[in-house]
């Protein structure tokens, strides 16, 4: 399931979009296998009598409850979780029914770091830590694919974003485009009033 492009603002380009690393699905998969194995072993050995029928239904119902409460929920959460880098911002979006979305404008990013254990390095996973001047402050994103590569992508897009803003000073059309982009971020709540005014002053010189 791809990140919905309707959530991008006009002129914004999708650079990187990913679900959490598949490692988060290891435990739910193990639980699923245990439930299926339990059904395969226990249900055929239940005696064929009235009490046995009740026992079978209890085993089936209990297994289904476990599957719905944990593995199915974990898979749906994974499918509906995104870490996105665009030409203008970093987006973290998740939620099955109720949605949570967090956005960091690239111009507000101060520092990007990552942590990986030895096991995570073998899997190509890790945690990404973003320090920003926005309201979010310090944010830790877990189970990111190849966090070093993502770190580099954020820095590269940040530099390109800054170049566009400075180049826009000498071109009226570019300045208007950047102002509209900033206004859209401000309207979405990704920029505070103070941050919006500061970026607008920097763009206009």
pLDDT digits (tens, 9 = 90+) for 52-107: 788 889 999 999 999 999 999 999 999 999 999 999 999 999 988 768 888 899 98
Beta strands, E only, 21-172: 82-86, 89-94, 100-105, 109-115, 125-132, 138-145
| Nearest CA among 111, 89, 84 for reference residue 161 | 89
129 contacts 115 by C-beta, under 8 angstroms: yes
Distance CA 166, CA 107 (A): 12
pTM score over 0.85: no
Strands 109-115 and 100-105: unpaired
Digitized pLDDT (tens) for each residue of the chain, 205 residues in all: 678 788 888 888 999 999 999 999 999 999 999 999 999 999 888 887 767 788 889 999 999 999 999 999 999 999 999 999 999 999 999 988 768 888 899 988 989 999 999 999 999 999 999 998 766 678 999 999 999 999 999 999 998 888 877 665 444 455 666 777 777 777 766 667 777 777 777 666 5
Give 92-109 pLDDT, tens digit per residue.
Answer: 999 887 688 888 999 889
Rg, C-alpha atoms of the chain: 24
């Amino acid at each position: 399931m791809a990140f919905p492009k309707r959530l991008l603002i006009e002129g914004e380009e999708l650079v990187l979009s990913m679900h959490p690393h598949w490692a988060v699905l290891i435990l739910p998969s193990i639980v699923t296998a245990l439930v299926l194995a339990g059904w395969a072993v226990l249900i055929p050995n239940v005696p064929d009598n009235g009490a046995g029928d009740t026992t079978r239904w209890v085993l089936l119902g209990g297994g289904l409850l476990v599957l719905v409460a944990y593995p199915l929920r974990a898979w749906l959460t994974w499918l509906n979780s995104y870490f996105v880098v665009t030409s203008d911002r970093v987006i973290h979006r998740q939620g099955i029914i109720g949605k949570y979305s967090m956005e960091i404008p690239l111009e507000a990013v101060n520092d990007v770091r990552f942590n990986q254990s030895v096991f995570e390095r073998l899997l190509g996973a890790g945690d990404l830590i973003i320090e920003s001047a926005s309201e979010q402050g310090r944010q830790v994103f877990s189970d990111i694919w190849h966090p070093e590569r993502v770190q580099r992508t954020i820095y590269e897009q940040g530099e390109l974003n800054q170049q566009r803003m400075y180049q826009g000073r000498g071109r009226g059309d570019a300045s208007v485009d950047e102002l509209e982009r900033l206004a859209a971020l401000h309207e979405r709540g990704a920029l505070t009033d103070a941050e919006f005014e500061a970026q607008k002053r920097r763009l206009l010189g």
